[in-house]
Chain A
Amino acid sequence: MDTGIIVGAVVAVGLSMVFWYGTWRYMRRKFVRYTQEMEEMIRRIQKGEYLNKEMLYNETLSSKTKQELLRLSDICRNERESSLRQKQEIQQMVSDISHQLKTPIANIVMYQDMLLSRKSSNQKRPGEEENWLRIMQSQVKKLDFLVQALLKMSRLESSMITLKLQEENLYQCIAEAVAQVTRKAKEKSLDIQVECPEETYLPLDMKWMAEAIGNVLDNAVKYSPNSGKITITVSKLELFVRVDICDEGPGIEEKHYADIFKRFWRAPGMHKEEGVGIGLYLTREILTRQGGYCRVNTAESGGSCFSLYLPG
């Protein structure tokens, strides 16, 4: 009877050992296969190859892991591509800038040549030289303006600088921006009205924000008719603070709403006005970098109305 128990126990232990060994072998094999698969995928990512995207999205753990690996490979690829794109963008910018610089420089060179050739020939007309010099001066000014703007843009664009967000008073910021255009506004006898609570503290970069508002204001001043009115209204939303800048100018066609914030874009038929189509682009960049956004629509008076949104 005892032997029966012993034999039974031995058989039971033996069977359970076989069972557990079998289970272990099975798990082990699965695990090895799984790690090999992962290893292969990682190796390919390292080599910069793209992973085969045709995978199954199903309710398994390995599908989840594979998907994360795919995402990793996407991120790597994106980084490569985006650095490439950045390079291209800088090239594009350089060519854009050189294109923009070409005209004033060509002008200056032309008038300089004329001045020089004038000295040798004797066909002088009174005041002609001074006139040319004036033109040259204005072109140099334009050049200076351009270079300044391009500088700002490139610094912003190439991420050379970062915006320092501090709790600042938006009111002061607006005041600073208005100050920049006061002289021009006076020339056109414009009325600039500001509606803003004096204590509106927001996380913003004072200098760049003033620039952003200033650019919009500049635009408004430029397109306002004489004795027009420009209103600046600050209102608080739940998450954002909105700065509206409205003028009584000709307004912007709806189909160009998305275009005006593009680099070097100028409204058709507005070429005679001073400007290079960089101000609004800068404004948008600055706002985006502060976590805000901007948009334009047409005011009831027919003028354009820019809204700048700052996270509050």
Chain B
Amino acid sequence: MSILKTRNLKKYYGGEPNMVKALDGINLEIEDGEFVAVVGTSGSGKSTLLHMLGGLDNPTEGIVTIAGNDISKMNQENLTVFRRRQIGFIFQNYNLVPMLNVYENMVLPLELDGKRKDARYLQQIITMLGLEEKLKNMPNQLSGGQQQRVAIGRALAGKPAIILADEPTGNLDSKTSQDVLGLLKMTSSKFHQTIVMITHNEEIAQLADRRIRIEDGRIVEGRWQE
């Protein structure tokens, strides 16, 4: 069953004559539980694609369907609530809320939705991420790798339909990158979590079940599952 589908997704910036086609007709289908890497050079449109998939920005044209919901038709407020419940984000620069401690950061999406916390599930995540000792620390007391682990925890905590990871290891040294990637991989296999990861690094992309290559706003490889 496909959890994410895009049909003829287009995003243009600016107008003629110097219109930039960041995305130019993306058709994509991602299965439930799949770990997909979107690969492309800088400026290929992969980040724009992620923004569209996450409902952060509205496409110029086309449809994005996540877990059966056409998010390109939602209004801002519904989209926000949708994001909170169905999408987990992992960013290159972690994007933790500096004023909240590790635990609070992790449960923030749950709290924002007023949901009860599944203590056992959270404990499982925390153990997997090796954050038991750090729960009360503030983000600025953590290393980059640890911060990114918190971000993974945050993305997982809400049991989202899909996790979108934007260059999750872009800011990390090679050693911590391996940890973070391992955790993503584990997340994917252990929780059967759908993950879409954006990277420009082939070495990292090989960890995914499938690799989608994007160039100049078009998919050039890996549109469908082989």
Contact = CB atoms under 8 A, between A and B. Distances in A.
Interface stretch (B91-99, B100-108, B201-209): B201-209
A57 B75 CA distance: 10
Given A81-B1, A293-B186, A293-B207, 11 more contacts: A54-B68, A57-B78, A57-B82, A74-B67, A78-B32, A239-B179, A258-B208, A292-B186, A295-B203, A295-B207, A307-B178
B32 A239 contact: no
Contacts of A203: none
B145 interface: yes
Interface string B54-75: 0000000000000111100010
Interface string A25-36: 000000000000
B211 interface: yes
7 contacts: A53-B69, A58-B78, A77-B1, A240-B182, A257-B206, A293-B185, A295-B207
B202 A309 contact: no
B120 interface: no
A49 to B, nearest CB: 13
Contacts of A1: none
Contacts of A63: 81
Interface in A14-38: none
Interface residues of B, number: 39
Nearest to B71: A57
Contacts of A295: 203, 206-207
Contacts of B183: 239
Interface in A59-78: 59, 63-64, 67, 70-71, 74, 77-78
Interface in B173-213: 175-176, 178-179, 181-183, 185-186, 189-190, 202-203, 205-208, 211
Contacts of A67: 85
A193 interface: no
Interface string B104-116: 0000000001110
Task: Classify chain A: how many residues form its interface, as a range.
Answer: 20 to 34
B117 to A, nearest CB: 14
B79 interface: yes
Contacts of B32: 78
Interface in A205-238: 237-238
B203 A257 contact: yes
A254 B115 CA distance: 45
Nearest to B180: A239
Contacts of A54: 68-70
Given A54-B69, A57-B78, A258 B186 contact: no
Interface in A240-272: 240, 242, 254, 257-258
A292 B67 contact: no
Contacts, number: 84
Contacts of B133: none
A254 B202 contact: yes
Nearest to A257: B206
Contacts of B205: 258
B206 A258 contact: yes
A204 interface: no
B77 interface: yes
A238 B207 contact: no
Nearest to B145: A238
A237 B207 contact: no
A83 interface: no
A63 B181 CA distance: 34
Contacts of A55: 69
A64 B115 contact: yes
A205 B205 CA distance: 28
Contact of B186 (A58, A59, A64, A311): A311
A5 interface: no
A288 B202 CA distance: 20
Contacts of A70: 67-68
Contacts of B182: 237, 239-240, 292-293, 309, 311
Given A56-B78, A57-B81, A293-B182, A238 B130 contact: yes
A254 B74 CA distance: 41
B89 to A, nearest CB: 16
A170 interface: no
Contacts of A81: 1
B190 A291 contact: yes
A240 B178 contact: yes
B142 to A, nearest CB: 12
B172 to A, nearest CB: 11
A81 B82 CA distance: 25
